[in-house]
Structure 1
Amino acid sequence: MASKAQKKDGFFETVKTVVYAVAIAVVFRTLFFQPFWIPSGSMKDTLLIGDFLFVNKMAYGYSRYSCPMGLCPFEGRLFASEPERGDVVVFRHPVNGSDFIKRLIGLPGDTVQMRGGVIYLNGEEVPQTPAGQFEELYEPQGPMGHEPRCENAPVGQGGMCTKSRYTETLPGGRTHDVLNITDGGFGDDTPAFTVPAGHYFFMGDNRDNSQDSRFSRAVGGVGFVPADYLIGRADRIVFSSAGRSLFYIWTWRTDRLFKAVE
């Protein structure tokens, strides 16, 4: 039988192992890659509810929000690098403290305006070309059970929910898909926003289902996002679950395994 001293030593070895493992995980999450799960449909069809990805923390350097709960003990950004227009970025909401993921549309000094559901960037139209329809079943999605909004509403449970899809081409040639559900809302026609120095303008790809920089923080939007609030860039989906839990392996979408985020 093990002596009391041996049992004590074994206990402390276990504690040390756990402490080391947690420390390594925190360092990895802070400096390299942070796991991120997509809880909402604001970035469809680029990102679906249930997509699980790792956020590249090295892409833009480090700020206080690189640490869990925003506890990094410094202001500004270390090893800062400028994001590129069209990046899909995770950032800290400037008011409620939650992590958001949206597409970067406006850089400091840019003027951004929506007219008839089309972006005008620095006075120039950002072209959209029809790209068919995005289809999904009308049913509860993800752990929170949100039902999708449909362009062809009303749709009964289990019916096919559709949205018009367009391919948008940003200055510089980067392309991505955007979805349309309704026409004529505030998000489709906005004032011209001029992005202040040190801030960025973000939008969701599911344009009629995204609280983003088009909306002020007073009504649930994010407004202009300060550079210090950027956390990292979404580069690749690791796996994706269409079920109520990431652990329901039988609901994983095999066509999205290790898919690049574009």
Structure 2
Amino acid sequence: MSTLQDTAKPARKSGEWKAIVILILLIPVLWSPPFLVRFCLYQPFSIPSSSMVPTLLIGDDVFAAKYSYGYSRYSFPGWLPAFSGRIFGSEPLRGDVIVFRLPSDTKVDYVKRVVGLPNDRIQIKEGQLFINDKPVTRQRLKDGVEEYACGIEPGTKAKRWWETLPNGASYEILDCIENGFYDNTSVYTVPPGHVFVLGDNRDNSTDSRVLKTVGYVPMENIVGKVTRIYFSVGDEDLRTERIWMKVK
């Protein structure tokens, strides 16, 4: 035992000195403009799926504003000390598009739209969103051809709707399948400290309706609010019309 203690003491001192040296070396990096922007202001993300079509397309690169709702342990690199809750925290608004850590696997980032706040009752009836027992206003738009987003036969058209939430936030959603699997749900009551999220591509989105995978998203899991598309490529072609497009 004395041998183990003797060998442990120098190792601990060596580790302490290494930590001090690393911290000193990191000070210029921590206060450098690129680090401050990346870890405190805006974080870039790439969109890999069609769950947020038509708002976000596969190949869109977006910025998430990390300061919008304050900071949690998921706002910073994993090697920094972990903490609970949010610093300078504020609640998202209905209609905000957010990046968050998946509750069932916090190493995975998801992007969805907030439709429900704490204590809200959320339900889908025949494809229409209800919040606190009231139907959300929606207006039918011209159908669009969305084979890649819907997984439907070429040339088949999908329904599009313009949805307006109670706070006035409005956006376009895609309705690929008539009477889809999640077009009729039970009532979801959002717990305190959580939000309820949906994908704009309602029939092809794993979101809060899938309780085992996503479910209710804790506030501290939110990384930031998606604000702009800064780059976009589709089928190897640059989509210049989408560059610096505001996300709403």
TM-score (norm 1): 0.79
Q: Secondary structure at the match of 2:84?
A: coil
Q: Equivalent residue for 1:180?
A: 175
Q: CA deviation at 1:74?
A: 1.5
Q: Counterpart of 1:99?
A: 109
Number of corresponding residues: 222
Alignment of 1:78 with 2:53, yes or no, is: no
Partners in 1 of 2:183 and 2:79 — Cα distance?
34
**1:135 to 2:130 alignment:** no
Q: Deviations over 1:177-207 (max 9, x none)?
A: 0101112233100000000000100000000
Work out whether 1:227 is the aligned partner of 2:229: no
Match of residue 47 from structure 2 = 38
Per the TM alignment, residue 210 of structure 1 is displaced from its structure 2 partner at its CA by 0.2
Q: 1:21 to 1:231 in 2, by over 3 A?
A: closer
Q: Name the SS of the counterpart of 1:39 in structure 2.
A: coil
CA gap of 1:21–1:73, structure 2 versus 1, over 3 A, is: closer
Once the 2 structures are TM-superposed, how far is the Cα of residue 27 of structure 1 from its aligned partner?
3.3
Deviation at 1:28, TM superposition (A): 2.4
Verify the 8 A CA contact 1:38 1:51 in the aligned structure 2.
yes
* 1:22 to partner: Cα distance: 10
Q: 2:158 aligns with which of 159, 163, 171?
A: 163
Give the Cα–Cα distance (whole angstroms) in 1 for the partners of residues 234 and 60 of structure 2. Answer: 8
**Cα distance, 1:133 vs. partner?**
2.3
Per the TM alignment, residue 33 of structure 1 is displaced from its structure 2 partner at its CA by: 0.4
Listed one character per residue, the Cα deviations across residues 138-179 of structure 1 (whole Å, up to 9, x for unaligned) are: 5xxxxxxxx4324xx322xxxx45321100010021110010
**Consecutive unaligned residues in structure 1, runs of 5 or more:** 1-15, 139-146, 245-250
Measure, in 1, the Cα distance between the counterparts of 2:108 and 2:40.
19
Give 2:12's aligned residue. none
Matched, 1:197 2:177: no
Query: 2-side partners of 1:172 and 1:33: how far apart?
Result: 26
The alpha-carbon deviation at position 135 of structure 1 amounts to: 3.0
Matched, 1:207 2:179: no
User: In 2, are the aligned partners of 1:239 and 1:258 still within 8 Å (CA)?
Assistant: yes
- For each residue in 1:28-48, what CA deviation from the matched residue of structure 2 results, as whole angstroms up to 9, or x when unmatched? 222110001100000000000
Q: Which residue of 2 aligns with 1:258?
A: 244
Q: How does 1:49-128 map to 2 (within 5 A)?
A: 49-69=58-78, 71-96=80-105, 97-128=107-138
AA partner of residue 123 (structure 1): D
Distance in 1 between the 2:163 and 2:51 partners?
16
Change over 3 Å in CA distance of 1:65–1:117 after alignment to 2: same
Asked whether the equivalents of residues 108 and 199 of structure 1 are also in contact (C-alpha less than 8 Å), the reply is yes
Percent identical: 42
**Map of 1:8 onto structure 2:** none
The farther-off stretch of 161-170 and 84-93 is: 161-170
Kindly state the Cα deviation for residue 70 of structure 1 after the two structures are TM-superposed: 7.7
Match of 2:57 among 20, 45, 48: 48
Rounded to whole Å, the distance in 1 between the matches of 2:245 and 2:164 is 20
Counterpart in the other structure of 2:153: 154
Structure having the higher strand fraction is 2
Q: Runs of at least 4 residues of structure 1 off by over 6 A?
A: none
| Secondary structure at 1:55 match in 2 | strand
